[in-house]
Amino acid sequence: MILVADSGSSQSDWMLALPDGERLAFTTKGLNPFFVNEKDIAKIIQNAQEIVPYADRVSEVYFFGSGCTSPDRREMVSNALSQLFTNSFISVETDLVGAAYATCGDRKGYIATLGTGSDVSFFDGHEVLPTRQGLGYVLGDEGSGVWFGKQLVTKFLYGVMPADLSAEFYAKYRINKEIIIKNVYQRASPNAYLASLALFMGAHADHPFIDELLITGFREFIVTNIKPFPDHRDYICHFVGSIAFYFIEQLREVCEQQDVKIGKVLRRPITELFNYIVQREKNYEIQA
């Protein structure tokens, strides 16, 4: 039985191939090893009641997650997974690798994530090549949920958000400076907290202020993260993540302005990723 996971900082999507050919899909909290330790990762997985009855029959686990960018972080996740899946081969890769499999398959192309955080890389048909991008929510994450949440809350606190939006923003979140400071500087997962504020844009995407904010954020992402690649015009750029998916109209507009060829735009890549992994493993079995 093959288990595949696509994990962001806010949520992890899982899909299991059952013996009868059906699929079991479920979600857990995000398992970014920069924000949760090995013990917490193991606890979250073990509390996922959907998978527990099948744990000892899972033979392969393919985990693709944000924050899994170094050997020690990947080992942390692998060790946590092995506590439940004791009979499994376990593979841990970055979420960009998963996004590449889900969108590019075996073809060359650029892959960008625009969810809680943001990142971009080039897939050469075999592997995701290392880049200078992906600096995280403090130094980077342009055009992400974190970036937009940060923009919204600072403009609200500084009093430069339009009065009508400001009133609705306060009515929805009931926040003030003290609450923001506590959640950003004193509590766990400040990136997920900031990204949650970006949900406000969904109901107000047609407001000129929000529309311009989206255009600005996507432009900054593309100018900072995609255009530095000299051959970016030669390949399609695929996008994954809720920010790209829900605000595709503004994203398409900016991509057209910046001469970026937009390809697939997936909210969550788990289904396409699962299909790719299962088919790949079948091909390996046939070749063997």
Contact 269, 241 (CB under 8 A): no
Has residue 287 got a pLDDT over 70?
no
Arithmetic mean of pLDDT, 151-160? 94
Model pLDDT for residues 2-34, shown as the tens digit of each residue = 999 999 877 899 999 988 888 999 999 989 998
Arithmetic mean of pLDDT, 122-138? 82
pLDDT at 284: 66
Has residue 273 got a pLDDT over 90?
yes
Residue 117: pLDDT band by 50, 70, 90 thresholds?
confident
Model pLDDT for residues 172-218, shown as the tens digit of each residue = 999 898 998 898 888 878 888 899 999 999 999 999 999 999 999 99
Q: Closest Cα partner for 200 from 157, 239, 156, 159?
A: 156
- Which CATH number is associated with domain 2-101+269-287? 3.30.420.40
- Kindly list the domain boundaries of the chain, sorted by start residue: 2-101+269-287, 107-266
Q: Closest Cα partner for 32 from 190, 145, 143, 186?
A: 190
Topology agreement, domain 2-101+269-287 and domain 107-266: yes
Has residue 146 got a pLDDT over 90?
yes
**Average pLDDT taken over every residue of the chain:** 91
Topology annotation, domain 107-266: Nucleotidyltransferase; domain 5 (3.30.420)
Global pTM value = 0.83
pLDDT at 168: 94
Distance CA 191, CA 188 (A): 9
